[in-house]
Structure 1
């Protein structure tokens, strides 16, 4: 079993150490991705923070046979879209 799949399995069971390991190993990659999308450091940090919050809140739904890296990128992308929609709504008002 790969390390990522093991971490996914432990995270799904609520292991905080697995969560911290995933955070440490994926934060910079997700931050770089979010920054490329929004070109704003503060917003990118918020997006990544929300990504990891959603990961923890939805840990029971993780499919351990799938890539946790891809799962995190998908959450991050969706968080960017949420921020984008929110920003657009604020401009309309």
Structure 2
């Protein structure tokens, strides 16, 4: 008996981004209540914001979570690879 759609286990491969990688957010991120000191529903990251991967962690032994520092916003937010694009030094997406 199946449990529905099987999702890929990301951690079987290597992370998409490594610490120090410059990235651009592809989605808006609101506080779901897990970001201390900010109101629930408050916008933490805007689509298009540029940040740097500080660390790579694992969630539920399935997914890579990238701790991205958005310097202009003064926030460090955990994001999935599908929410990010690598950004080259000239400022255009790679």
Which TM-score applies when normalising by structure 2? 0.28
Which TM-score applies when normalising by structure 1? 0.28
